[in-house]
Amino acid sequence: MLRAPFLYLSRRRGLQRFVTRQKLTARLAYRFVAGDRLEDAVRVVKEVNARGLTASLDHLGENVTEERAAHAATEDYLAAFERIATERLDANVSVKLTQLGLDISPDLCRALLERILARARQLDNFVRIDMEGSAYTQRTLDLVFALHEKYPNCGVVLQSYLFRTLEDVQRVNALGVRVRLVKGAYDEPPSIAYPKKSDVDACYEKAMRELVLHGVYPAIATHDDRLIEATRAFAREHGISGDRFEFQLLFGIRRDLQERLRKDGYRVRIYVPYGTEWYPYLMRRLAERPANLLFFVRSVLRERRAA
Ligand SMILES: Cc1cc2nc3c(=O)[nH]c(=O)nc-3n(C[C@H](O)[C@H](O)[C@H](O)COP(=O)(O)OP(=O)(O)OC[C@H]3O[C@@H](n4cnc5c(N)ncnc54)[C@H](O)[C@@H]3O)c2cc1C
């Protein structure tokens, strides 16, 4: 019931400045975000790697409205790749196209993305293009498909709440593009997306099967025990070994699950966001599980009573 209000808040940029300045909300955010600086993300990735897991770094930011900000985001990603290489981290990066200026100019966005992809290719690394709201789905896929031949080191994300996704799965599989499969984190109308969780999950399972069977090293990104078990069972039944796909989970969520999958011998990648632009990211995490807010408020109240 609270999903829609949090997703509404995630788009209210007027609130962003106010909310991010509050010490209490910042404390809540840092349960899901590594910290403000690349330094913080590097520290978290080292811990993640030490636990036998890999990572994907996300420098938070989206829907930039100034070219300057898109250029700055590009420099930040180039710096992240340098750090990954010099510190020998087991990590790639995740990028949002609206962070590279897609709303300002598709040509600018493409040019900046190519700079990142070219550097990643030199360093033998990989760039995942995150999927944003449905206004960007086609444009994101078009750009990835256009660049994939030149830069096979880029992959995309598909969202199982969209009706179109099973068709998109056929297309990416035919082109050999690597996919991260997610349920979808934005507010979409019932004309294009399943409103019911059971339908989103059913579509996820169908897409997972196609990707695990015919895709190129797919990433099954979910914290949903049932879908994770379905993936494991499907791979077993079809003799697909655990090194042909990976599970992905978000930093700060279900550490028990991260450990269990690793212990069972699966490849697990943790999505590690960092940076000061955490407001929309936090609102989406609260939309997925409003109880996060309740737990946090309770723990703060307990601390205050104890003080
Ligand atoms: C690595 C990764 C990358 C992603 N990239 C994208 C992307 O590019 N585009 C996009 O639209 N979406 C992305 N998402 C988000 C995704 O679309 C879902 O919104 C999110 O993963 C929650 O759905 P779920 O699959 O975990 O299943 P759910 O059915 O929502 O949750 C299953 C269980 O997971 C736990 N859980 C889920 N969310 C939370 C939370 N916020 N806090 C605490 N526990 C939680 C709960 O125990 C819950 O019962 C990504 C998710 C992951 C894991």
Render pLDDT for 205-226 as a digit per residue (tens, 0 to 9). Answer: 999 999 999 999 999 999 999 9
Dmax over Cα atoms in the chain, in whole Å?
60
Tokens coding 172: 């990416």
249 lines ligand 1 (CB under 6 A): yes
Does residue 203 lie within any of the structural domains? yes
116 pLDDT tier (thresholds 50, 70, 90): very high
Average pLDDT for 108-128 = 98
pLDDT for 190: 97
128 lines ligand 1 (CB under 6 A): no
CATH number of the domain to which 181 belongs:
3.20.20.220
Rounded CA gap, 144 and 153, in Å? 10
pLDDT for 1: 66
CA of 3 to the centre of ligand 1 (A): 13
Q: Which atom of ligand 1 is nearest to the CA of 224?
A: 32
pLDDT for 301: 79
Does residue 168 lie within any of the structural domains? yes
Does residue 117 lie within any of the structural domains? yes
The structural domain count of the chain equals 1
Does residue 94 lie within any of the structural domains? yes
Render pLDDT for 234-250 as a digit per residue (tens, 0 to 9). Answer: 999 999 999 999 999 99
Answer for the pair 47, 255: CB distance below 8 angstroms, yes or no. no
Whole-number percent of the chain with pLDDT over 90: 84
33 pLDDT tier (thresholds 50, 70, 90): very high
pLDDT for 40: 97
Report the C-alpha dihedral over residues 254, 259, 260, 266, rounded to 10 degrees.
Answer: 110
pLDDT for 4: 86
Catalytic, 76? Answer no
pLDDT for 238: 98
Catalytic residue among 58, 76, 130, 168: 130
Does residue 5 lie within any of the structural domains? no
| Between 301 and 102, the higher pLDDT residue | 102
User: Nearest C-alpha to atom 46 of ligand 1 is from which residue?
Assistant: 223
Residues in Cβ contact with 245 at an 8 Å cutoff, skipping those fewer than 6 apart: 211, 212, 215, 217, 218, 219, 220, 231, 235, 267
pLDDT for 232: 98
Does residue 28 lie within any of the structural domains? no
pLDDT for 126: 98
CA of 82 to the centre of ligand 1 (A): 29
User: Nearest C-alpha to atom 17 of ligand 1 is from which residue?
Assistant: 184
| Residue 307 neighbours by CB distance under 10 Å | 5
Catalytic, 68? Answer no
pLDDT for 153: 97
CA of 267 to the centre of ligand 1 (A): 18
Catalytic residue among 128, 180, 267, 285: 180
pLDDT at 136 over 70: yes
Q: Which domain holds residue 257?
A: 33-277
268 lines ligand 1 (CB under 6 A): no
Render pLDDT for 162-196 as a digit per residue (tens, 0 to 9). Answer: 999 999 999 999 999 999 999 999 999 999 999 99
Pocket test for ligand 1, best of 222, 231, 270, 294 (most atoms within 8 A of CB): 222
Q: Per DSSP, which regions of the chain are E strands?
A: 54-59, 91-95, 127-129, 154-159, 178-182, 219-221, 246-250, 268-274
User: Nearest C-alpha to atom 24 of ligand 1 is from which residue?
Assistant: 222
Which residue shows structure tokens 């169908």?
Answer: 206
Does residue 262 lie within any of the structural domains? yes
Beta bridge partners of 97: none
pLDDT for 182: 98
31 lines ligand 1 (CB under 6 A): no
92 lines ligand 1 (CB under 6 A): no
Does residue 283 lie within any of the structural domains? no
